[in-house]
Structures are given as C-alpha cells and as structure tokens.
Structure 1
C-alpha cells in the first residue's frame, strides 16, 4: 500500500536486499520497498506512469545506503536510501545518473563489489564498471551528463547476469545461441581479466541451460534463474584435488 492506494505486485523483474530492506523492481515503472524482517510494505517509488519517476524498472541493487535502478534504454538512476520513507513522495529525484551505453527492454543484472557497481551489459557486450566514489563525487554533474562506465569490449559475448560471492564472480553469458554459466576468480574479474575457471552450458552433457537471467552462490550451491525453462537450477560445486607423488 501507498497511502490509501493498494498496488498489485505485477511484472516483477529484480530484487535486492540491504540494511533491513527488500527492494523489488517492476516494469510497471515502480520500485517496491519492504521491511526485510516483517515483509511489511515501507513505500513505493514510482506511480506506474513511465514518463515520471522510472521508465519501467529492469534491474535494482542496493548497498551501503545507495539504490541503483536500471531503467529502459540506457539509464541507471541512483537514489539515496534515506529518500525512501513511509511518507515519501511517489516521485523521487535521483541523486545521480549513469549511462549504460546500450540497452532497451531487457532485464539487467547488477551487483556491487570492492567499491564498484558492476553491470552485466548484454547490449553493450561488456561488463560495465562504475566507481562508487566517483559517482558520489560527480553526482550533481551526472544529472546533466550521466556517468559512463569503464569496460572491456567483447565481440560475440553478451553478459546476462553477474553476482559476487566470497571467491567468485558468478556470471552467465550468451555466445551465439548457447548460454553459459561462468566462474571467474573475483580478484581477477575486478581487474577486468576475464579468464574463467569454469564454463558450462549444461550439466554433464545433459539439461542444456536456457537464458540465465540471475545467478547467486551460497556456500557450495549455485542458484541459476533459467528464464527459458522457467526453473531455478541448483548446482552443487564439488572440489577435486589432484596430487602428484614422485617416487
């Protein structure tokens, strides 16, 4: 609810959890905000009219008091979490804007690691890096000229999803008609060195992946949101040790 208005949860695209809040994006040009503990609604940003706050919402990630909202076309709006309260207006002015270079109506995956917002830029054919300290320093100017990312350009690879665990960048990428799960060492990924230690388009030659729009890792389990097959795939990581003995 927002005031006296009850809003159905429809056309949901993305979810992020930070500092006791759950943020849920919708292509109905809204961002829903809930209490993580009680699941009670805190507020709704955007009144469903695309020409106002958001032109749809295709991705969201929140961390350390900032909320990054990927819109249609090539825009990410940055909000301060303190702007969003039970009594705040539908239409909140962003504190900064980012340029994703390309993009249209696809769901976008975003995550934050080591002081950078990282976006899986499927249309830009690259991972997009935005330094958060730089965003804060240039926030006012970015409202006129949105901040562009650092990136390494790929030729045929379309990054679809990205998330970070303790050791890994867990990503999905489309190459031609195939969808791949890839694991990159996180430290190397942050340096834009893209040498995957695991690249798989199926499970042991069976059950080929469809388009994976979301990834997450918890301990030795990886969760893949397979949009094509309408499934959450759960994969267990096994470790093997090869020891060499000289007699």
Structure 2
C-alpha cells in the first residue's frame, strides 16, 4: 500500500506591503516629480514683465509703448533696474544711449529730453553716401571748403578733411522701406551731434556745393560722389 503524497498548497495574491522595495521606489519617484514640477512652476512665477526695444533705438528716441515689446524674464534682485510693464511710462522721457532690438530698457537710460548731450541734426550729403547706412550706424563726417567759380569751371574736385568722428546715425531717408541712395543726387541724413559740435557742423553745411560727406566707421571716402 503506497503512502499518500502531500497535496500542494494554493498561493494567493497578497496586497503589496510598505516593506516592498518596488513600491517604495515608485512612491519616491512620484514625490520627486511633484517636487520638480513645483520648483519649475515657482521659478516661472518669479518672472516679471519688462520692456525691451522693439527695434534699434538711439539717443533722443521717445519712450513709447508702441516702440517697445514686452518680455517675461527672471531677473531676481536686478528686476528693479529695468523698465517694468504694468506701470505707466514716464511722460516726455527719452533714452540717452543706443539700444539694439530686443535689448532690455534700463531705467538708468531714461532722461528728460532737455538733458540730452547729443542732438538730432540734419546735414546734406550725396545720396550715394547713404548706401549701407541704418539707424545706429557709426560714421565720420568729412567737409571741404567751397569751390570757387574758377575751380568749378576747371572741373576741380574738392579736397575733403575729417570734421567729426564718430557720430551716430539717427535717421536715414527711406522710400518704401528702402534707404534712398545709389544716385548722384544730393540727399540728407539725420545725425546725433554732440551739443558743443552742432554749430561747427552746421556751419560747414551752409554751402550745399560741395555737400558734406559721411563714411561708415572703418570705410574710406569714395571718389566721384561729389
């Protein structure tokens, strides 16, 4: 007579225990993701809206909302140094320095227009001198003594000497968004001239023949444009 074999005991699924290492790892990962998300949201909440230049700006430009664009940035303790959105813009304020497109506007750049040390001044130049120039370009101004009638009859060209350098271009004439240049006709350009140099520059510009010349920094005075 054979002995009876022991019957196998059925195993039942049991609920995971807090002592289960896989469960603990899962809980830790979930908590970590929550903390990281909270920190990211907190960092985003620290961003403040500040004004940036919508396009290149030069000294003397008014500070108007239409010339600015809002950007949200995290500046920490430095936020107070920049022009913040949500506040009324100073009336009649202008900037005293060059700002490139997208550059934040420092509060220290705002001054009353009467405190400017450079003044937008229109001078006459050959249209060919305007090629390649734009608002914010740095140029040198050249002047020549007026030609006598005998010199003109003889076809002599004036000799130019540097009058002032460097100066910043404030505005160039445009047509359909394109700078007017490339012809031999005379044109004009608005330059930012230091206060103590305005009279000297305008005195040299009294005779339109020959006109003043402007040359971009690093360039040379082209012949044949007189």
Larger helix share, 1 or 2: 2
- Structure number with larger C-alpha Rg: 2
Normalised TM-score (structure 1): 0.26
- Is the strand fraction higher in 1 or 2? 1
Q: Structure 2 length as normaliser, TM-score?
A: 0.28
